[in-house]
A and B are shown apart, each in its own frame.
Chain A
Amino acid sequence: MKRKDNAFFRWFFGETDTMLGRVEMRPQQEYTETASDIREVMQDSLTQDQTGDEEDFVLIRVFHRLYRVAAVFFCVALIAVLLINVSWLPKNGGADNPVNNEVSARYIESGLQETGAVNIVTGMILDYRAFDTFGESNVLFIATVTVLILLRLDKEKKAPAKKGMPVYQRPKDELTIAQAQSRDRIYEPKNNVILQVVAGFLVPILFIFGIYVILNGHLSPGGGFSGGAIIGAGLILYLNAFGFEKTERFFTEKTYKWVSFFSLTFYCLAKSYSFFTGANHLESGIPLGTPGAILSSGLILPLNICVGLVVACTMYAFYALFRKGGF
């Protein structure tokens, strides 16, 4: 691929940061903490009550007490106001409450014919308001990306930073992933027999139950989000019991990347096609099937599977990043 001498392409391929020096931003100082710094913090926290001038100290104490009183007062006032509001609301559970308007009536009356899903909530969130759910999946993905930015550790120690190096190319002044892992192994219940036996029994059940919940999302309570969370819990349990060597045989950063990419792209394309044809009154050509069968209700089943994959990968990625700083 030929790199062009365009500012955009240079930014895109990571050669320069076009914003560097133009907007006012300071790169974060590399912070190296010496032993004396740590000792100072410890001293501060131990002798916090004795530091500071006497008058300052009194003022701060008065402020703290006032703050606590004001906070409690504010919370109680908030609860009281909201409770008065609640007491004027219409009675809970009445069928004529203004919440139950024509929108929900429409969903209930013609949801089955229009979406083919027996579970009306699934039909609602994955058909009528499918772009909303797409946004939710993207929120999960973006959250993983930000956690990755904040917590990821380098694979191996890079060369120290040079003077004119852009900020994003500098190595992070932190542990490498191998050091973090060796440190992690001190506290981890290593090869705990109790955990391993229970995990060997529970993990297959969790996986099967999660897959069942995802595949039956349009027929019974559940769907992509809950089933994905169950599968993610199974993955985390497996990781806890058998360690990173076992999970890295089938789940690495690359797996996460491709699974998320394909799920989100498929979701976007499928739903865009469906909305495009729907808005132009064209036949979409997606059969709705007989309600109640597994292979029914058009796009809802594949979309549920996509959402489930994204959620499961996200849960596992959160855990692995918090635990080790990489996966």
Chain B
Amino acid sequence: MDTLASLLHTSPALAWMVVKIVIVFSAVMLLASVWTWVERRGSAMIQDRIGPNRAALFGRIRIIGLAQLLADGIKFFFKEDLEPTDVNKGLFWLAPFLAFVPAMMGFAVIPFGRDFVSGGATYHLSVLDPGNGMGMLYPMAIGGLAVYGVLVAAWSSNNKWSILGGMRASAAMVSYEIGMSLAVVSIFMTTGGYDPAEIISAQGSLPWHWNVVPQFLGFIVFFTCMFAETNRLPFDFAEGESEIVAGFNTEYGSMKFSLLALAEYAHLMTASALVVTLFFGGWQVPFVAHPSVGLSILSFVVKLLFFAWVFVWIRWTLPRFRYDQMMRLGWKAMLPMSMVNLVVHAWLMSHGR
């Protein structure tokens, strides 16, 4: 790291920061685009189909259809960047970035590996070092910003279907945020801090000490709310082919559409990172008290990919909810459940257990 820093004429801290940012965000972006393919192949396998397997590099190297990503990307880049006449131009251009950037930003505080000491300095494997004062509040706040991507895209399109989709999606996101926050609060309470590093180290390496076991109700609530937050299938109210055409992205085409679609997958990655960090011990390796750095990163990535897969898996298992059903579930089931979770854990803590 020092040699790299001296080569670039920067301080080691800055070089380390840049390296972390590049690695984390390129990894998340790559995973998000790979996950579009995983979603399509996975859904195909679940439905006894085959899925996109024909795209090949140079027409020859098929690699089980992974070249589909490239093909899609090239296709989206070279499509005409159509802009309907009556859209609000500024917001129309801004919306994909508003959707994509918060989805990526939430990843910044997630520790994806164990701290390590090298040359007398401690290196933290998360973009923002622990003890930054924001902790897990930051991804929650950024997750709240994700509403704007959908809503701005919908509003600027000047299309009734888009506005309907955007409105109900934002309503869903906002109302599920309460249940989600309360589920997270009870974790903050039992941990005694809201820094992700603290939450992870408090969970330890034994799987039954991870937060998912004592706070199973909280996990259910949080995970369900994550589906509403990422606008994925049981609660995908931003879209809905049968009722509001394509929803908030009806008027979008080419790379702007691609960004909106990728934002969903980036959001998915961030959401599963949050689930892993809060409930499944983050980078903790089961039954290994002091894992090596590589092992801890591997453990985190495996957990992350598993939960990202669960998102896909559930999407192709459950049918969509009706809007009122989802609202009822959000306000009458998720909110009371997370409150009960909070109160029970507060009571348990006050009795010293």
Bound pair: A and B? no
**What is the interface of chain A, defined by CB distance below 8 A to chain B?**
none
